[in-house]
Amino acid sequence: MISISLRNVCLDYPLYGAYDYSLKRRLLGHLIREPGEMRIIRAVDDVTIEAETGARIGLAGPNGSGKSTLLRLIAGVYPPSSGSITIRGNVVPLLGLNAGVNLDFVAEDNIALLLRISGRKPTQTMIDEIWAFTELEARMRRLPLRMFSSGMLMRVLFATATAFPADILLLDEWLSVVDEHFAEKAQARLLHLVSRAAIVVIASHDQPLLRRTCTRIINLDHGRIASTVTVEPPAAHALELREKRA
Amino acid sequence: MHHTQETSHETARRPSVLHIFKIYYPDLFGGTLTVIRDICASLKDAFASAVLVCSQSTEKRQIVVNDVPVERVRSFGNLLSLPAAPTYPWRLWRKIADHDLLALHAPFPLADLVFAFGFGRKRPLVVHWHADIVTHAGLRWFIEPLMRRTLRQAKAIIVSDHVLVDNTPLLREFADKCHVVPFGIDTSGYDWPKIEPHHVNDRGRLVLACGRLVPYKGFDVLIRAAAAHDFEAWIIGEGAERPRLMQLIEELGLTERVRLLGSVNDCERIKLMCLADVFVLPSITNAETFGLAQLEAMAAGRPVVNTALDTAVPRVARHGMEAITVPPGDAGKLGEAIDTLIRDPERRRQMGLAARTRALTRYSAAAFRQGMETVYRDAVAAPREQRSMNVEPPPATAWFDGIRIAATLAWSDMRHRYVRSLLGPFWMSLQMAIVVAVLGSVIGQMSNANVLSRLPMLALSMTAWTFLNSVVLDATTALQNSASLIRDRALPPVIFLLQCTFRQGLFALHNACVPLVLWLILSPHDFSHALAALPGLLLFLACTFALSLVLGAMATRYRDLKPIIESTLMLAFLASPVIWSSDMINHRSMVMRLNPLTHLFAVWREPLTGVHVDPTSIVYVLVVLALLTVASVLTLVHLRKAAFWI
């Protein structure tokens, strides 16, 4: 049983200023009894989310509303300040755009390294399949990623990250970078992942995209859940039909 | 005959409970101990109780107190309010399997240590939350993660009042597990024939307080209050504060009116409670969570003066109904409140009556027993699989995965060197060869000994030093350099500190070809020495890794540490016999003998040259390793927060 369960989760994010990084300053502050003021913002405030197999959750909200932080909480990057997080299933977080790539390495090596980081032993066929999905020219496999455009880079990363079924996939502003053709393909793949009993959580500003991809959209504001919208199932259905036609 | 057999069979089937606390009768008397004793006594039909505690007495380890077997683990005094009983965790671990239920009386970090490391998972755990850590609040950062892990494992948390859950952040996290079971009191013993509703003490000015003589009980406040008024104050209890309180009483000239009665047995105490006119609970910190003594006074029908703590204290005896509540630590207000009651016998009578009614109805022993029994039974009956369901995957495989990822990353780092240049890391070996050649010639000028025979050791020492130095320096920036993998791929930060050791290990293997070649050319080949050096080399590696872990994490949190670490390492290098050999320098140099680097090199260098290692070096290195291991464990706990720092 794969599930995400967040109960009354809060995260107090400490904002370290230049002085807070200094041990000397801190020790001095203790000596002269200077009240060390550590600024803390509540990045996630009393959030409760329950999700089970097949859920596709969209996180919407303005900049700084806590979308990425919430994804990182689920991924286990930040420990929650209070509340409980229960995750069952293995989480594949794809949050930053360049997570774990080395731009100096050639594309193929990067793919192999990323696969190893996510715990798989890369084989030639695996890499071939991933490359086929990116629809990039074969000669580019031997080029360092530094020479790729951001859209091309995104294709490679997306293809690698989604090559294997994940129990729980966390995406942050992922689909909006690539061009329309690839976005459709990416969505088809995401839907495919979902159909293989997975949970996907996507944070994005792109409301139409969220509506097309998700079953539930959570609007965040200042770290709180402002509203939750359930997207009508027919939307997803239409997309599946289109996928079959294509 | 048949009947007795059945009973014995019945007793055998009682589930057994192990009560875990720091101290027990007869070493101490106090509220928490009363609670444990009452639980053991009142549940004796349903549960077989046993107690595991520490004791400073050298007497028998196994004793029986009120029909309950008590094992006392030897403690060597108190350290920060905690018994220094190094074998306690071990004994606890051994005893866990013998019992069906574990009842931890918190706070007791020594036991948290056992549960935090995942021992005792197989047995249901109930935590009795007696108090938060108040006295040594500075240690919170260390103890709180341990307590959190314990609470996470617990099936149920028992508190005496709901206000504790509201006011304790740690408990709020586990609010759904908390059960409120107010302490109960067996009021039968308090039916002293003299207690009649109209009974009022003739003198009307005897004030009683009861508790261990420890700072948080606030008895000094009571004594100061007594100075400004003319009531008599008797304090029951014993403790470390006695000399200080005695001195205070003498200074204020109160020897006539204020008496420290010392320890008093139960029967006497009840008699005194019934005799007193006012009972005072002057506690000044939240360490006082309930105030069992005030409940006893209430059962005896006494009006209470207590303090406005954030705990159950002002809720057991409520202001204006059974008590007058004053701000904690305020001797003036406390004195006034006592005086008000002393001067008003009618109000005393009413409050006393209300207090007795409340004790009888709200805090009955029967309700306490029933509440406890329900929680215990549910905990024993709870299905095993329901235990802590958190993000933690089975640790063994997670560790293995982490090591594998670190190795993969290190390997890719090294391959990348080869991609950029033909020789790859051998450029560094070349550099090493040049350094050794130059240093060798310089040393040759300084001493007249045979330089050539010394070159292999010099090269090897330089290789090892370069390894240690680069691992630590790499580690200081490793987390920041891997920020995206930590924050975006949720990889555990420790992987990247491990990666430094692996990567530099690979480079060191490249560098090692310099000493290897020199050794093959210049030295007689004796492999047995190399074998003898192996344990020392492992110690060296372990210390290096632990050092890089600790310093790497600290330098990420405090950025100004990096230059300090750099210069300290350089200084340690210069003050150690890494490039000098032992006969070139005065071996009794104090700085050099204190320098850990000296011994860290000695443990593998001496066997390599066929000399026996000085035992002090071995001990020194082992102590350093032990300290580093402790520091590493603490670092690993804190690395959870690394994502905030980068």
Q: Where are chain B's structural domains?
A: 2-180, 187-363, 395-645
Q: Using the beta-carbon criterion (under 8 Å), do B416 and A16 form an inter-chain contact?
A: no
Q: Does A214 map to a domain?
A: yes
- The answer to whether residue A3 neighbours chain B at the CB level (below 8 Å) is no
pLDDT band at B269 (very low <50, low <70, confident <90, very high): confident
* Mutation to test the B interface, candidates A73, A77, A143, A171, most B Cβ within 10 Å: A77
Q: Using the beta-carbon criterion (under 8 Å), do A96 and B488 form an inter-chain contact?
A: yes
Query: Do residues A111 and A190 share a domain?
Result: no
Pairwise CA distance, residues B435 & B579, whole Å: 11
Query: Do residues A224 and A236 share a domain?
Result: yes
B540 pLDDT above the threshold of 60: yes
Task: Tell me how far CA of residue A232 lies from CA of A192, A229, A236, in angstroms.
Answer: 19, 9, 8
Query: Do residues A136 and A179 share a domain?
Result: no
> Considering A164, A191, A214, which residue would you say is the last residue of a domain?
A164
- The answer to whether residue A24 neighbours chain B at the CB level (below 8 Å) is yes
- Closest CA of chain B from A129, distance in Å: 22
Query: Do residues A129 and A176 share a domain?
Result: no
Q: Using the beta-carbon criterion (under 8 Å), do A77 and B643 form an inter-chain contact?
A: yes
B199 pLDDT above the threshold of 60: no
> Considering A164, A197, A214, which residue would you say is the last residue of a domain?
A164
Tens digit of each residue's pLDDT (9 = 90 or more) over B389-429: 344 444 556 788 888 889 988 988 888 888 777 777 788 88
* Mutation to test the A interface, candidates B141, B390, B391, most A Cβ within 10 Å: B391
Q: Which two tokens stand for residue B490?
A: 């949720």
Q: Using the beta-carbon criterion (under 8 Å), do B484 and A100 form an inter-chain contact?
A: yes
Query: Do residues A7 and A86 share a domain?
Result: yes
Summarize the confidence of residues B260-273 as an average pLDDT: 85
The ipTM assigned to this model is 0.85
Contacts of B490 in chain A (CB under 8 A): 72, 75-77, 91, 93
Chain A residue with minimum CA distance to B644: A14
Interchain CB contacts (distance < 8 Å): A and B = 90
Q: Quick one: residue B20, left, alpha or beta (phi over 0 = left, psi -120 to 50 = alpha)?
A: beta
Query: Do residues A186 and A234 share a domain?
Result: yes
Q: Using the beta-carbon criterion (under 8 Å), do A95 and B408 form an inter-chain contact?
A: no
Q: Name the H helices within A88-143.
A: 107-117, 124-134
Nearest to A119 among B401, B419, B644 (CB): B401
Q: Which domain holds residue A21?
A: 3-90+166-245
> Considering A120, A136, A164, which residue would you say is the last residue of a domain?
A164
Pairwise CA distance, residues B477 & B479, whole Å: 6
Pairwise CA distance, residues A60 & B532, whole Å: 63
Query: Do residues A160 and A55 share a domain?
Result: no
- The answer to whether residue A79 neighbours chain B at the CB level (below 8 Å) is yes
CATH of residue A12's domain is 3.40.50.300
Task: Tell me how far CA of residue B510 lies from CA of A198, B450, B525, in angstroms.
Answer: 45, 27, 21
Task: Tell me how far CA of residue B468 lies from CA of B472, B548, B578, in angstroms.
Answer: 6, 9, 12
- Structural contact between residues A207 and A27, judged by C-beta atoms closer than 8 angstroms: no
Query: Do residues A30 and A152 share a domain?
Result: no
Q: Which two tokens stand for residue B190?
A: 């308090």
Q: Does A95 map to a domain?
A: no
Lowest-confidence range among B309-318, B327-336, B351-360, B450-459? B450-459
Contacts of B401 in chain A (CB under 8 A): 119
Of B37, B29, B144, B18, the residue nearest B91 (C-alpha): B18
Lowest-confidence range among A13-27, B178-192, B578-592? B578-592
B187-363 homologous superfamily: Glycogen Phosphorylase B; (3.40.50.2000)
Domain count, chain A: 2
Pairwise CA distance, residues B589 & B638, whole Å: 38
Q: Using the beta-carbon criterion (under 8 Å), do A25 and B401 form an inter-chain contact?
A: no
Same-fold call for B2-180 versus B187-363: yes
- Please give the angle made by the CA atoms of B348, B351 and B354, to the nearest 5 degrees: 150
B538 pLDDT above the threshold of 90: yes
Tens digit of each residue's pLDDT (9 = 90 or more) over A13-39: 888 876 778 888 777 777 776 655 667
Q: Using the beta-carbon criterion (under 8 Å), do B405 and A117 form an inter-chain contact?
A: yes
- DSSP state, A34? -
Query: Do residues A37 and A125 share a domain?
Result: no
Query: Do residues A17 and A138 share a domain?
Result: no
- Closest CA of chain A from B543, distance in Å: 24
Element (H, E) at B206: strand B206-210
Task: Tell me how far CA of residue B356 lies from CA of B193, B196, B203, B349, B353, in angstroms.
Answer: 15, 11, 21, 11, 5
Other CB atoms within a 10 A radius of the CB of residue B207 amount to 26
CATH top-level class of B2-180: alpha beta
- The answer to whether residue B228 neighbours chain A at the CB level (below 8 Å) is no
Contacts of A116 in chain B (CB under 8 A): 405, 408
Lowest-confidence range among A62-71, B26-35, B101-110, B345-354? B26-35
Q: Using the beta-carbon criterion (under 8 Å), do B560 and A21 form an inter-chain contact?
A: yes
- Closest CA of chain B from A156, distance in Å: 16
Q: Does A96 map to a domain?
A: no
Nearest to A79 among B169, B486, B641 (CB): B641
Query: Do residues A80 and A170 share a domain?
Result: yes
